[in-house]
A = this chain, B = another copy of it.
Amino acid sequence: MFESSRSFLTVESSFVAKLISSLPPDIRLEVPAGDDAAVVRPPAMRRTVITVDMLMEGTDFLPFPATDPKAVGYKALAVNLSDLAAMGARPEVAVVAVALPIKHGRTIGDEMLEGMLPLAKQFNIAIAGGDTNSWDNLLVVSVTAIGSVEPGKAWRRDGAVPGDVILVTGAFGGSILGRHLCFLPRCNEALAMTARWEIHAAIDSSDGLSLDLFRMMSASNTGARLECDRIPIHEDARIYAQQGSGQTPLEHAFGDGEDFELILALDPQVASDLINEFKHLFPETPLSVIGTVTATPGIVCVLPNGDMRQLEPRGYQHLFTSNCSLKKSCD
């Protein structure tokens, strides 16, 4: 059901009702939330892109109050937007289902809204409804996001060809220090790229640069040759290593995940053109060519001295993570 009475009867203030009422009416909704389902006017001549992500308290983030509910609300939507970006899709609509803990559920819900709403506004997402529930247990939030792309234009994982360069946005590693809750999904960058340049394959780095790149290469029946000294290592990876994580900053960059950066494969000439123009469009978004696509499966990393080593795809689960506001704000 859509905004069920179960919520009406058990949750003092319905999370989803508040979420919806906090956004202006949207022309895309022929029937807005509040009926049995929402009716959306899909954009003409475009495909529908669908993704869903569920976050669970204690598994995806530290139990409250160690984690800021605002950051959870933000992240629940942002991870979906990152998936849309990785398809080159324009965000359109989202629905949100929550199981709120009875204890402090109202406060947690209100604070989650504070994190989610500005992001929905920023990326012009119409919240079309959802399902509010409460239980005597931990928070679970599931967001389904819907975007659109031109027919045949969705970025897939399986289009990389030998000779392509591998381009990444941003920097990698150490997201567990807080960034994984506060990242800005690369939707605008993706839309600008897909409008101007032909991208052969794309994925977002949710589970680790090496693992996600490995997936893209495997899907494409290709491999990758990376220049180790060109991997953009995030400052957080260095801090984490200095804190005695037991890994080098480069290892963190390859294996930590939850960077939510784009990993792209494209023609070298196109990449050169893209990089030149992109810095005027997005001066604050770093772009780095980290290697090339090869016909040989697997990922090889070339060290500065010319030595090569085989890279094992690694992606670690973020079991428990610190509070977003310790590092930076989601505002």
Residues of A within 8 A of B (CB): 1-2, 4-6, 8-10, 30-31, 35-42, 47-54, 56, 58-59, 79, 82-84, 86-87, 89, 93, 95-99, 128-131, 133, 135, 137-138, 140, 142, 144, 146-147, 149, 151-152, 154, 156-157, 202-204, 206-208, 211, 219, 257, 315-317
Contacts and interface: CB of A to CB of B under 8 A. Distances in A.
B39 A42 contact: no
A52 B130 contact: yes
B53 A151 contact: no
A49 B152 CA distance: 23
Given A10-B317, A56-B137, A59-B135, A39 B48 contact: yes
**Across the A-B interface, the 3 shortest Cβ-Cβ residue pairs:** A37-B51, A36-B86, A5-B207
Given A37-B89, A133-B59, A146 B50 contact: yes
Contact of A152 (B1, B30, B79, B137): B30
Contact of A207 (B4, B79, B86, B208): B4
A99 B54 contact: yes
Most chain B CB inside 10 Å of its own CB: which residue of A31, A52, A84: A52
Contacts of A138: 137
Most chain B CB inside 10 Å of its own CB: which residue of A51, A99, A149, A203: A51
A50 B128 contact: yes
B53 A38 contact: no
Nearest to A138: B137
Contacts of A152: 30
A318 B181 CA distance: 35
Nearest to A93: B50
Contacts of A37: 49-51, 83-84, 86-87, 89, 147
B50 A206 contact: no
B87 A39 contact: yes
Contacts of A82: 1
